[in-house]
Amino acid sequence: MSTLRIPPLVAPIAALTIGLLAVNADAAEPFTYDPPGQLIPGSGTGLATDQVYAPDMVFPLQDRGFANSQVYRYGGYLGPAGSQCHASNYDYPWQDNYCETRQWAMPLCPSGQGHQGQDIRPETCTDQAYWTVATDNATVTNIGSYSVYITDASGRRYDYLHGRGQVVGNGQAVAQGAQINRVSNNMGNTPTSIHLHFNIRQDVGGYGVVYVSPYNSLIKAYEEKFGLTNIAPTGYLDAATCQQISGWAQDPDDPESPVSVHVYFNGPAGDPNAVGVALSANEYREDLCGAIGSCDHAYSLGIPMSLRDAQPHPVHAYGIDSEGGENAQLTGSPKTITCGGPPLPDGVRRHVSSPEILAAWAFSPFWHQLTLDDATLGSIPTWDPIEPTPLMIRADDQSPEVWILDGIGKRHVPSPEVAENWSLDLGTVETLPAAEVAAIPTGTPLWDRPFLLKGTGPEVYLLDDRQCYPGDDDPECADGGDTGAGETSGGGEGSGGDGEGSDGDGPGDESGGDSGSDDDGLPPGYGFDRADDGCGCTTDGSNRSNGAWGLSLLGLIALRRRRRE
C-alpha cells in the first residue's frame, strides 16, 4: 500500500525560492524570485520581511521587467566583467537589492545604511523603449533632473529614477497605470545601466517617514499584472455521513482539470494520529456545471469499516494545488462522523494468520476491518484459514470468467470492480486448459469486497462463505454437494464500501468456538499505514506480487487438498 505525503499548507515567503508557472498565453516562461532579503553574496545584508507595503499598487513598468542589482551584476562597477546587456541580467529569478551596500541612512536596514529601493531592468537592454507607469492614483509632487515623484492620497510616495522623456508635469494628477516616462540610464554625469530605480517612501510606526522595501509589493503587482498569481484550490466538504464523504474541489488556475483531494480521518494534515486518503475530484455533478463552469469536479468516499465503532471521528478535506502552492482546507471542513457497525452478513470466520498473508491479499484493517465484542465474534463459526496468497485462473477457450482458487475449488470473480475492491491484479491471471478449469469444483462467487473482523485479541479474520465441494466430509456440508456457482455470495452488495453491510444469504452456522489455530495474531495497529508526518495517505494501488510458485497450478490445488485433509 503506497503512502503520500501532503506538503505544508503554508510556505513562508522568506524561506523559499518560489516558482510559479505562468497561466496566460503571453507569459509562457516560469516567473521565479529569490526570497526577500537574500542579496547577492558580498553586496550587503538584506531585510528579510514578508511585509507588502503597497498591496494595491500596479507594477511600475508597462511591460515585463527583471528586478536585480545594477552594481553587482554583469556590467556593474562591482560586478563580473561584461556588458550590462548580458543575457543573465534579463532572466529570472528576481533578486532583492533593497539595503544593498550604500551610504544612505536606512533605519529599516540591518546595518542602518543601504540602497533605498529596488532596481528593475526593462524587458530588453534597449534605451528609452519601455514606459514607466503610475503605480496608483496620485499627484506628481516632484520632477528632478533624473527623478519623478508621485504621491498618493495616503501620503505614500513612489519614486522613479533614471528615466527620460517625461510626459507628466509637476502638480499633475495621474491615474493608476498612466505613463510617466521611458526607462533609461539618466543619472546626470554619472554613468549607470538602463533601468528603473524604484522607491516606496511612507510613514512607518516607530520610524517615521522612511524608505521601505518595495520587493514584495513588486512581486504581488507583477503576478497580478501578467496573470502569474497562483490561486489556491476552492471547494467544499459538503457532507460527512455514515454513508459517504462527499463534496467538490477545483483549482482556479486549471479549472477544467480534476484536482486532487486529500481526506484525513481522526485529525488534520500533519497529525500523527490521522490517516489520509488521496482521491481525485473528477465525478460528474450537474449542479456544478453552472456554479463553477465545469461539471466533473465532485468527489466521494466511503466510510472506513474501522471507524464504524460508535465513536466520533473528525474528517478534514484539503484541495491540493496543481502548481505545488498552497493547499486549501475546503469550506465546511472539518466535520465529524459517529457511525455504528453495519449488520453482519451470514458467513464464517477465516483466520488471517500473519502480517505476510494480510499483505499478500492487500487487506487494509483501516478500510476493511470491523471490531466486534468477543462474544459476538465467538458466535460466528470458523472455517479454513484464508489462503496464503491469491491466485487467479481462466480457461484457454476465450471464456471471460476469471476464477480465484480457494482450497480445492475455484470461485468466480464477478467483475473488474470486485477485483479492484479486493486489490486483485487481473494482469496476473494464469491461463489453463479449459478442461482442467472445468474439473476444479466451483464454490460461491467472491464477495463484493473484503470484510475483516477482529475482537479484543490480536487475531484477524475474513468473514466469508463456507465452501462445500462434492465429496466434502465437512459436517456443515451435510448434503455433500457442490456449493454451486449460481448461489449468491454472503457478502451482498453492502459487504464493504460505505460499510452499510447487507443481510446476505450465504450458508449460516450458529455454532461458536475458535478455530484452534496455533498461528500468531497480527501485531497491534498492523495495516494502519502512516507516514512520518502522520499522513498515511493511501491510494487504490497494490504492492502485491504473486511471486514464483515453483509448482503447476494443478499441483498447487492438490497441495491445498492435502492440507484440508
Please write the tens of the pLDDT for every residue from 489-517.
Answer: 444 333 333 333 333 333 333 333 333 33
Tell me the three state secondary structure of residue 14: helix
Confidence at 386, pLDDT banded by 50, 70, 90: very high
DSSP-assigned beta bridge partners for residue 328:
319
CB contact at 8 A, 401 and 483: no
Q: What is the pLDDT of residue 548?
A: 34
Q: What is the pLDDT of residue 545?
A: 38
- In single-letter form, the type of residue at position 449 comes to R
Q: What is the pLDDT of residue 473?
A: 78
Residue 118 reports pLDDT greater than 80 = yes
Confidence at 148, pLDDT banded by 50, 70, 90: very high
Q: What is the pLDDT of residue 503?
A: 33
Q: What is the pLDDT of residue 325?
A: 78
Residues 154, 57: Cα–Cα separation, whole Å? 13
Global pTM? Answer: 0.56
Task: Give me the domains of the chain, ranges plus CATH numbers.
Answer: 22-229 (2.70.70.10), 234-338 (2.60.40), 342-565 (no CATH)
Residue 5 reports pLDDT greater than 90 = no
Residue 562 reports pLDDT greater than 70 = no
DSSP 423: T
Residue 474 grid coordinates: 465437512
The full DSSP string for 464-499 is: EPPP--TT---TTSTT-----TTSPPTT-TTSSTTS
DSSP 187: B
Residues 405, 407: Cα–Cα separation, whole Å? 6
CA-to-CA separations, 443 to 195, 464, 487, 488, in angstroms, rounded = 82, 12, 9, 10
Residues 383, 469: Cα–Cα separation, whole Å? 14
Q: What is the pLDDT of residue 526?
A: 42
Confidence at 477, pLDDT banded by 50, 70, 90: confident
Beta strands 312-319 and 409-412 are unpaired
Q: What is the pLDDT of residue 27?
A: 33
Q: What is the pLDDT of residue 505?
A: 32
DSSP-assigned beta bridge partners for residue 164:
182
CB contact at 8 A, 218 and 67: yes
- When pLDDT is averaged across residues 378-391 and rounded to a whole number, the result is 95
Q: What is the pLDDT of residue 351?
A: 97
Residue 305 grid coordinates: 469499516
Residues 84, 70: Cα–Cα separation, whole Å? 8
CB contact at 8 A, 215 and 223: no
Percentage, residues of the chain above pLDDT 70: 79
CA atoms within a 13 Å half-sphere pointing along the CA-CB vector of 24: 9
- When pLDDT is averaged across residues 241-253 and rounded to a whole number, the result is 94
| Other C-beta atoms lying within 10 Å of the C-beta of residue 451 | 27
Residue 378 reports pLDDT greater than 50 = yes
Q: What is the mean pLDDT of the chain?
A: 83
Beta strands 138-143 and 131-133 are unpaired
Q: What is the pLDDT of residue 253?
A: 83
Instruction: Determine phi and psi for 13, rounding to 5 degrees.
Output: -60, -35
Residues 263, 259: Cα–Cα separation, whole Å? 13
Q: What is the pLDDT of residue 555?
A: 56
Nearest to 306 by CA among 475, 492, 536: 536
Nearest to 262 by CA among 497, 12, 5, 496: 5
Residues 136, 70: Cα–Cα separation, whole Å? 26
Residue 349 reports pLDDT greater than 90 = yes
Residue partners of 427: CB distance under 8 A and separation at least 6 = none
Task: State pLDDT tens for residues 208-232.
Answer: 999 999 999 999 999 999 888 778 8
CA-to-CA separations, 422 to 366, 418, 447, 450, in angstroms, rounded = 14, 6, 9, 6
Percentage, residues of the chain above pLDDT 90: 73
- In single-letter form, the type of residue at position 362 comes to A
Neighbour-count burial of 445, counting CB atoms closer than 10 A to its CB (0-12 exposed, 13-18 middle, 19+ buried)? buried
Residue of 515 and 442 predicted with greater confidence = 442
Q: What is the pLDDT of residue 30?
A: 72
Residue 410 reports pLDDT greater than 50 = yes
Task: State pLDDT tens for residues 26-59.
Answer: 333 578 999 999 999 999 999 999 999 999 999 9
Q: What is the pLDDT of residue 556?
A: 53
Residues 71, 72, 77: CA angle, nearest 5 degrees: 55
